[in-house]
Structure 1
């Protein structure tokens, strides 16, 4: 099996090609990407009701989120191999079908173990939709144009973490804990129907890799040793880890320590995500002038500046919610700049294995984030100082990878 060098990838990245995708396709790909936050943030408001209805300890209920995330991370590796062998469209459609089936199984779960099994199956199906959305972009566009398209997708997709928990909260209050799962099933059907009608196949048959298990595993091993690919993958993973750490640890700080109500926290969290939308808009404009690597390097300093500002502000005003939220807006602004360019850069390094590169990107992102969250959320202990230090660790990792590794082939 032939594999291009990184220099060959650079030639591919700058080759002529279309400069943008139709708006309808951008919206559809954003909807595919939104399946992930809709499935995680959309279930969070139902967790207390699940604990009561299924006679489960409150401390165990977050496993309904973990089961989805772990399955999602692992399934991306299989999805990437299948997509490079069979094409993008059949894998997306099969993944959405599995997602809908799993949502229905979760809807009718009569015990917590059954709910966990259904959520794991749900994560398996969702993985195909999310990882192949960015793959389909890179199939059709050259490097910088892909960076702009991914930033556009981010602008549309960024409203999902804001509205998903709010809608879910209303659904739980009206229809109980099963209502958000019904909404996920409906969402899967709608996106699946739109994909069936409008999603193109973007991988030509002559570019598909044979589905050879050992050969594909060997290809993954080669990709994991590519310095060019790992630079983008690690920068993306550290940058994302701060987002997930804040989501996991900030409620304890702001609700338990600062005394805010759950609704107050939800609204402030929604405010913090506005930085991501603004960062995507900035990324879309910057990449045309600065290129993928230059734009990424502009974004990563914000991801260290935010936690440093948080460290200072929380020591000066320990009871002020703004001491956490304003620096977090700075961090999410940087993430909005970094994410589309890290993805575009990663998917440009090995154009013959875009599906597998996308899978590796997603798997490492969630794996590193899960470890960092597991360590620092335990150390947080309800203190803003520990949260800020954990996010500073993530920001420093993103900055080092972005400045010292990206582009240094």
Structure 2
């Protein structure tokens, strides 16, 4: 923690949470705004469904790759420079997407978007732990999740409206504007939270040693799996949204927002409750509650899809309840991950984000295309992904402080 934390940020916690949530929203905006335009982009560029899926996989792979370095760079050069550089590259990549004339160009610039969009998310976690003690950090992390939840809720609405009225290029011009606004806001308001005495050398050998210490730490890996893999039980539906919502649930592009509204509502409610519980109950107990909710709703989701014809009236609320359970436990698990490397929290955040992004990319590029055409297959896969996180937590729960 920064020894001068009280002087670095003098404003209210909610304002800092809103700033950091703005950084985290680049990821959801980069994905959710263009999903309603999937079919239109494919027709415009003469792309196959598999090629269109690669625009998502390229983004996620770029996201995962650079997440290994955002935190290490922030540990060496400070939090602000990395955030501002990431926003600048994101804005240029969005401009490239808007001007793309072929599917190859779009895949290239989507990968560049992914490589830059993660900077804000990774660094924001380190900023929170730089400035706050654990209980306060959990409250701020929960506030960030609540504010962050607004972006995925409104992104598909904006994307659907822009696609229908202005064409798919307008979606990426909108992202250019988002990047510019965030860059100006962060340059003016975001503090530098890393104390000069805590900066780490950006050299190959110390970096490799730091990464090796983390990947060889089974507690760190188990916590990263416990937080990141269950997310894919929900994210699988986001990745499959064009087929799941359009072909299975028969919703139109302008109706996709119901899925995102309910799911993000679940995330925001879970994050709010997580903040309320901070310091009131044991952390392990709170995590256990989140997993119980996810287990129960996942089993119910499988049963409903096996017995009934899929319908938005019950299919979408089940995913929202799953999201509630995930958001209830993930702020606590994330802080436990960061505290596994107190001298290099930026690097720990990077590696956690990288592991999660690799899982996201694998689900997007391999699993989602195999199961997206069947509601039952989606439900079973979601249950399996959540089960991996549950097993990881079951192993590690007695190895972390209550």
Q: TM-score, normalization: structure 1?
A: 0.90
User: By how many angstroms is 1:79 displaced?
Assistant: 1.0
Distance 1:117 1:370 in 2: 16
The 5 Å alignment of 1:163-312 reads 163-249=154-240, 251-312=242-303
Distance 1:16 1:200 in 2: 12
Question: Are the counterparts in 1 of residues 231 and 386 from structure 2 also a CA contact under 8 Å?
Answer: no
Distance 1:233 1:334 in 2: 17
Equivalent position of 2:45 in the other structure: 54
User: By how many angstroms is 1:70 displaced?
Assistant: 0.9
1:401 to 2:392 alignment: yes
List gaps (5 residues or longer) in structure 1.
Answer: 1-11
User: By how many angstroms is 1:319 displaced?
Assistant: 3.7
User: By how many angstroms is 1:17 displaced?
Assistant: 7.7
Higher alpha-carbon deviation: 286-295 or 297-306: 286-295
Distance 2:366 2:97 in 1: 30
User: By how many angstroms is 1:16 displaced?
Assistant: 12
Q: Deviations over 1:132-156 (max 9, x none)?
A: 1111111111222211111111111
Equivalenced residues, count: 397
User: By how many angstroms is 1:375 displaced?
Assistant: 4.9
Higher alpha-carbon deviation: 362-371 or 331-340: 362-371
Change (3 A) 1:239 1:87: same
User: By how many angstroms is 1:336 displaced?
Assistant: 1.2
1:153 to 131, 141, 144: 144
List gaps (5 residues or longer) in structure 2.
Answer: none
User: By how many angstroms is 1:158 displaced?
Assistant: 0.7
User: By how many angstroms is 1:266 displaced?
Assistant: 3.6
Higher alpha-carbon deviation: 169-178 or 233-242: 169-178
Q: Deviations over 1:100-159 (max 9, x none)?
A: 111112222222222222221121221211111111111111222211111111111112
Higher alpha-carbon deviation: 92-101 or 43-52: 43-52
Distance 1:196 1:22 in 2: 19
The 5 Å alignment of 1:6-405 reads 22-249=13-240, 251-380=242-371, 382-405=373-396
CA RMSD of aligned residues (A): 2.4
Distance 2:241 2:97 in 1: 28
User: By how many angstroms is 1:240 displaced?
Assistant: 0.9
Task: Specify the SS of the correspondent of 2:206.
Answer: helix
Change (3 A) 1:318 1:174: closer
Question: Are the counterparts in 1 of residues 156 and 256 from structure 2 also a CA contact under 8 Å?
Answer: no
User: By how many angstroms is 1:320 displaced?
Assistant: 3.1
User: By how many angstroms is 1:357 displaced?
Assistant: 0.3
Question: Are the counterparts in 2 of residues 93 and 196 from structure 1 also a CA contact under 8 Å?
Answer: yes
Q: Deviations over 1:290-317 (max 9, x none)?
A: 2433322221121211110111222332
User: By how many angstroms is 1:381 displaced?
Assistant: 5.8
User: By how many angstroms is 1:248 displaced?
Assistant: 2.7
Q: Deviations over 1:324-343 (max 9, x none)?
A: 22321221111111221121
Change (3 A) 1:282 1:16: farther
